[in-house]
């Protein structure tokens, strides 16, 4: 009897949490003309930092870890599967201390350097221009090369661009002697990085002038059209955007913006794998804070550039937690849970809304650093929940964006910027897109306790089959480790039904679903 009462009480308790359900509706305006989502929204970032390059992408030809010409076979395959459209390199802060000449020619002659930004690690420059640009060719992605303004000269920068892209001439001659006959295709160049901080501690007026000067000498050889990107603001530094737009304007093709989901820059940032419900909701609220931030930066850009000819590129974003216990604090190695996966899906949903101005984003970073796609340890490799979101979402690359209006529950989350008031976090987020006649719907239910019945009302819908994939787990703090690499991975999802113009989806708490309708 006593046992039955306890059981009943337990079930009742669960009924108010685990079995609770919310309802949401999504109006899908699929007769409206939307923008195309540039595939570059799914860009990646690889910095000489910790084991992103060395041990992550690159192990060298002599390594026991299976590799092809020094690139890890497992990692290359995983990145090819991900359809990486663009890869930013060599930094980050590293870029403004990097001297490209040290990274070309016979490896035994390359000088060593101290990575002053990231733990003082000494590196041997064995991964340089050839190794990076050849990797981009292997992956089939555009390279995005961040050039050194902070500690480099105009001449050094100009010669690097010539070395990479000229058919003939003195720099091409050196390149050919180093084994590469044809120039590489290099479109995206960054003229400095975080020039307000690690890239030189400059004021925007001074940097704006430097940008004008340095970028002048980045020449276009043999019709190689360059897309020149100025170092942009961090977070809420609207003045940086204002000054750059006013003083530089159309002399840049793109202006960057960095936004991290981070508790603050001083003190503990919190553990990646241990957090309370309140921490979880704070994190997702913070991540969604980029929505209003984008609006603010875009408003300034619209004032100077109403035709939207200068793009906004969020070339660093993602979660930033304390490093894993026992790892070098300068190497920024962190685990990646279902909470991080949520940050990825919510951020991508937001970026998709602004693609008339936002043309590229680069999550930080691709391997072993911050919110990574992949973690490696010696010869082991793990794909993170964030990897799986990028994989499930890559169907939206180069697809037509369909605007949606979502009606759902919301909650108030704390804001670490006390003077800005609380944040509001919606329980449901979505992206809908169409490509080649196939509609893809992505849905995220952020609620920790409630499942969701989501009703999507399309303007019109003519669908024969629905295929679905879900990313979910028992506990949002779960993650894939080297010992247990498959705790979180996509599974087949069947709880979606179409009737006339209505799609009904029943999704569990804290889950991400992508559906293919055709």
Q: Residue 96 interacts with ligand AHR (CB under 6 A)?
A: no
Query: Which one from 108, 316, 324, 420 is the annotated catalytic residue?
Result: 316
Of 90-98, 107-115, 129-137, 438-446, the window that binds ligand AHR (rule: CB under 6 A) is 90-98
- CB closest to ligand AHR, residue no: 92
Minimal distance, residue 324 CB to ligand AHR, in Å: 16
Q: Residue 147 interacts with ligand AHR (CB under 6 A)?
A: no
Q: By C-beta, is 364 or 425 nearer to ligand AHR?
A: 364
CA–CA dist 406, 429 (Å, integer): 8
Minimal distance, residue 115 CB to ligand AHR, in Å: 11
CA–CA dist 49, 98 (Å, integer): 12
CA–CA dist 513, 503 (Å, integer): 13
Q: Residue 454 interacts with ligand AHR (CB under 6 A)?
A: no
Catalytic (active site) residue 316: yes
Catalytic (active site) residue 453: no
Q: Residue 146 interacts with ligand AHR (CB under 6 A)?
A: no
Contact residues for 424 (Cβ-Cβ < 8 A; gap 6+): 285, 410, 411, 412, 413
Ramachandran area for residue 201 (φ above 0: left; ψ -120 to 50: alpha; else beta): left
Q: Residue 91 interacts with ligand AHR (CB under 6 A)?
A: yes
Contact residues for 469 (Cβ-Cβ < 8 A; gap 6+): 392, 490, 491, 492, 493, 513, 514, 515
Could you give the string, one character per residue 13-52, with x where binding to ligand AHR holds by CB under 6 A and - elsewhere? ----------------------------------x-----
CB atoms within 10 A of CB 410: 12
- The distance of Cα 350 from the centroid of its chain, to the nearest Å, equals 12
Could you give the string, one character per residue 370-389, with x where binding to ligand AHR holds by CB under 6 A and - elsewhere? x-------------------
Query: Which one from 33, 194, 324, 478 is the annotated catalytic residue?
Result: 194
Q: Binding-site residue total for ligand AHR (CB under 6 A)? A: 10
- The distance of Cα 89 from the centroid of its chain, to the nearest Å, equals 14
Q: Where are the alpha helices (DSSP H) in 178-276?
A: 204-216, 238-247
DSSP symbols for 213-240? HHHHT----TT---EEEEEEEETT-HHH
Minimal distance, residue 263 CB to ligand AHR, in Å: 15
* The binder of ligand AHR chosen from 310, 364, 383, 515 (CB under 6 A): 364
CA–CA dist 142, 430 (Å, integer): 28
Active-site positions? 194, 316
- Interface positions with ligand AHR (CB under 6 A): 47, 91-93, 193-194, 316, 364-365, 370
């Amino acid at each position: 009897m006593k046992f039955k009462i306890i059981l009943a009480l337990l079930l009742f308790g669960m009924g108010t949490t685990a079995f609770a359900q919310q309802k949401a509706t999504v109006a899908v305006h699929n007769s409206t003309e939307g923008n195309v989502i540039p595939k570059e929204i799914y860009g990646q970032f690889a910095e000489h930092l910790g084991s992103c390059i060395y041990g992550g992408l690159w192990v060298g030809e002599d390594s026991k870890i299976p590799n092809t010409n020094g690139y890890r076979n497992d990692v290359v395959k995983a990145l090819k599967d991900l359809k990486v459209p663009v890869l930013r390199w060599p930094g980050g802060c590293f870029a403004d201390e990097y001297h490209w000449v040290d990274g070309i020619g016979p490896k035994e002659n390359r000088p060593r350097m101290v990575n002053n930004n990231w733990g003082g690690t000494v590196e041997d420059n064995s991964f340089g221009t050839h190794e990076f640009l050849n990797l981009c060719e292997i992956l089939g992605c555009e390279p995005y090369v961040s050039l050194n303004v902070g500690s480099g000269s105009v001449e050094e920068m100009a010669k690097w661009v010539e070395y990479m892209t000229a058919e003939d001439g003195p720099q091409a001659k050196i390149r050919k002697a180093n084994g590469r006959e044809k120039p590489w295709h290099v479109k995206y160049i960054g003229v400095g990085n975080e020039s307000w901080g690690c890239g030189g501690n400059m004021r925007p007026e001074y940097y704006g002038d430097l940008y004008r000067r340095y970028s002048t000498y980045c020449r276009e050889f043999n019709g190689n059209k360059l897309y020149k990107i100025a170092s942009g603001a961090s977070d809420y530094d609207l003045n940086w955007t204002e000054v750059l737009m006013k003083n530089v304007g159309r002399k840049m093709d793109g202006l960057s913006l960095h936004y991290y989901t981070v508790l603050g820059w001083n003190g503990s940032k919190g553990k990646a794998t241990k957090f309370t419900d309140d921490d979880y909701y704070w994190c997702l609220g913070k991540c969604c804070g980029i929505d209003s931030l984008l609006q603010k930066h875009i408003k300034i850009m619209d004032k100077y550039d109403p035709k939207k000819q200068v793009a906004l590129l969020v070339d660093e974003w993602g979660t930033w937690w304390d490093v894993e216990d026992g790892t070098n604090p300068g190497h920024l190695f962190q685990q990646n849970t279902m909470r991080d996966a949520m940050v990825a899906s919510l951020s991508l949903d937001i970026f998709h809304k602004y693609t008339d101005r936002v043309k590229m984003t680069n999550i930080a970073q691709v391997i072993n650093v911050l919110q990574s796609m992949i973690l490696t340890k010696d010869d082991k490799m793990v794909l993170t929940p964030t990897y799986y979101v990028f994989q499930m979402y890559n169907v939206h690359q180069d697809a037509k964006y369909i605007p949606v209006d979502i009606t759902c529950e919301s909650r108030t989350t704390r804001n670490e910027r006390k003077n800005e008031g609380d944040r509001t976090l919606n329980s449901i987020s979505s992206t809908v897109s169409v490509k080649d006649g196939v509609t893809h719907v992505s849905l995220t239910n952020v609620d920790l306790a409630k499942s969701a019945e989501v009703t999507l009302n399309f303007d019109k819908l003519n669908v024969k089959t629905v295929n679905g994939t879900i990313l979910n787990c028992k506990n949002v703090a779960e993650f894939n480790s080297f010992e247990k690499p498959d705790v979180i991975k996509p599974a087949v999802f069947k709880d979606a039904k179409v009737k006339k113009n209505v799609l009904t989806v029943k999704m569990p708490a804290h889950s991400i679903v992508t559906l293919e309708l055709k």
